[in-house]
Amino acid sequence: MTTQVGTPRCGVRAFSFRRDFPWPRRTAQRAVPTILVATISLLAAPSLFAQADPASEPAVQAIAKVLPAVVNINTERVVKRRVHDPFEDFAAQYFGNYRARPREIRQTLQSLGSGFIVDPAGYIVTNEHVVQRAADLKIEVTMNDGKTYQAHYITGDTKKDLAFIKIDAKADFPFINLDNLSPNLLGQTVLVVGNALGYGSSISRGVLSGMKRDITVDDFEYKDLLQTDAAINPGNSGGPLIDLSGRLVGVSSAKMAFTPQGVPTQGLGFAIPAETVRSAVTQFKQTAQNQPPPKTKPDENENAASNAGRLFGMQLQNLTPDLTDALGYAPGKGVLVSAVDPDGPADRAGIERGLVIYRVGRYNVTSVKQVESLLSRASPGTVVDFTVGIVRANGQGQRVETVPLTSR
């Protein structure tokens, strides 16, 4: 039976909810389960909205692959140079024929850079300008895990700005394989890995933006370089430039801040191509095979030559007969102080250039070799008594006192 709703007006027929409009109820009956099913489906698939795991990113995986083979390089070398000594001018005023040896100054220069191991035996590639060859070069290599090793210079190529060094330790080191290089395609993503500004394990990202570039930086010409907008900062030199598969693209070498005309630039970093690196390493290994093993200990004479300067900040010179006569000092006694480092132990104690050291501890000294032999026993923090002053040949104007110095 159909229920009539209201009274028909103006010829309009009254309708039955059940018969004439059946859809609202049926729709409601079907829509509710459909919405619930959709909601349950979305809740059961949270990956549609969750972020991807960062550990799965190609860049992260590439860095994890090569980082154990990337090293920080800290070099220390002593530069010797001869300078004109005003003290000699003073002597020459009274002794025209006086000609002493030119005074030699030793300066310690430090530099920071990067490199990467290319052989499990511990062979490392870096830039030549990071480890410029010197007879008394000290190279310290720090791995990504914090372990530190000493290394020695093997050979290098100044024109290519590549150098080869080796860790002085026997172990199987992680390395970057040079048999599988990046194809080096313009526009591909590249990563710079290295020791930027002294911060280890520093990463920057960009694209390979140019090839076969020739540039001049600080009067040095670089040829056939790769160009990238990935940030290359001081300390990155010698580190690897890699692709997202962890393959070598090149070796970070230079950054151009200004054009030769003085126009400032942005995003212009340059790297030595991986093919050039692989070819150079083949030659470097041949050189390494023909070299004798490195010394296990520095030569004692090399150590002694720097004891006075390293521990007390003063350079010494033998008092030759000519120099003794020219200065009017008592012959056969003491060692001349030829230079004093500013703010070193000797300088703070009042020792000046031109004074003479007559005794170290309880031992009389007459040569630099004697002094250095005695100082070889000193270690940082050791207190050493120096008897310093001037003893004239005529016995007049003598001024001698014992000064205790604490080695640094």
Can 161 be counted among the known catalytic residues? yes
Catalytic choice (85, 114, 119, 129): 129
Residue 101 CA, distance from chain mean position: 37
In one-letter notation, the amino acid at residue 252 is: S
Catalytic choice (209, 237, 253, 338): 237
142 burial (CB, 10 Å; 0-12 / 13-18 / 19+) is: middle
Q: Using an 8 Å Cβ cutoff, are 163 and 125 in contact? A: yes
Can 152 be counted among the known catalytic residues? no
3-state secondary structure of 366: coil
The closest alpha carbon to 108, from 303, 294, 306, belongs to 306
Residues 6+ apart with CB under 8 A from 372: 304, 305, 307, 308, 316
Q: What is the DSSP letter of 168?
A: S
3-state secondary structure of 384: strand
Q: How many angstroms separate the Cα of 303 from the Cα of each of 103, 135, 373?
A: 19, 13, 10
Catalytic choice (85, 119, 161, 243): 161
Q: How many angstroms separate the Cα of 287 from the Cα of each of 5, 238, 283, 331?
A: 108, 20, 7, 52
Active-site residue numbers? 129, 161, 237
